[in-house]
Structure 1
Amino acid sequence: MNEEYLKLPLVKNQVDMRFELIVDGYTAFIDFKEHGKKIWLIHTEAPEELKGRGAATAIIEKTLTYIEDKGYKLIPLCPFVAAYLKRYPEWERILDESAKPF
């Protein structure tokens, strides 16, 4: 993750059902669905102003860390998250059994 994102807080927006990362006044987000201790990551989006700066990758990394820290299991529906998981297979440890093999 780019150093500029390390200190930025991840926001779990329960109203809009999305994780948010606000960078320079712009919001990158991941839509999610939650039931019990499972989280489905549905869609990742970064505004045009943040494209190419690693904001989408940063929100994925922060969201995966949140999921692990809170004891959730992940079901990745978002293609961008799925591609990230293929690049970093060590995150398979948080996948829900229904999402394996990945």
Structure 2
Amino acid sequence: MSRAIHHNVAEQRFEWTEDGVLSVLDYQLQHGVMTIMHTGVPEAVGGRGIAADMTKVALEVARDQSWKVRPLCSYAAAYIRRNPGYEDLVVS
């Protein structure tokens, strides 16, 4: 990963701007559980691995902070299934 994904704590999201287009991963944090709500990558920059990079950074932040993760976003859930090293973070 070569992207320096920004963690916007105040907005509870991870952000990346590429070619002037903002992509985001939105979450809610309550009681030590990061609920990943939405991963949004506009079509203009789709297919470049941006969603994967943002999801990986979000999961690494969760691990570093000892948070659990609830992946309501279908992309985040699929990413975790494809990368089972993060399954220990998941709560239902």
Q: TM-score, normalised by structure 2?
A: 0.86
**Matches of residues 1-102 of structure 1 in structure 2 within 5 Å?**
1=1, 4-5=2-3, 8-15=4-11, 17-96=12-91, 99=92
Distance 1:24 1:69 in 2: 30
- Deviation, structure 1 residue 65: 0.7
Contact 1:19–1:30 (CA<8 Å) still a contact in 2?
yes
The unaligned stretches of length 5 or more in structure 2 are: none
Q: Deviations over 1:35-74 (max 9, x none)?
A: 1211100110112221011111110111111111111110
Contact 1:34–1:40 (CA<8 Å) still a contact in 2?
yes
Q: Percent identity?
A: 29
Secondary structure of 2:16's counterpart equals strand
Letter matched to residue 95 of structure 1 = V
Q: Deviations over 1:10-47 (max 9, x none)?
A: 222423x3221223332211111111211100110112
Contact 1:42–1:76 (CA<8 Å) still a contact in 2?
yes
Secondary structure of 1:71's counterpart equals coil
Aligned length: 92
Secondary structure of 1:75's counterpart equals strand
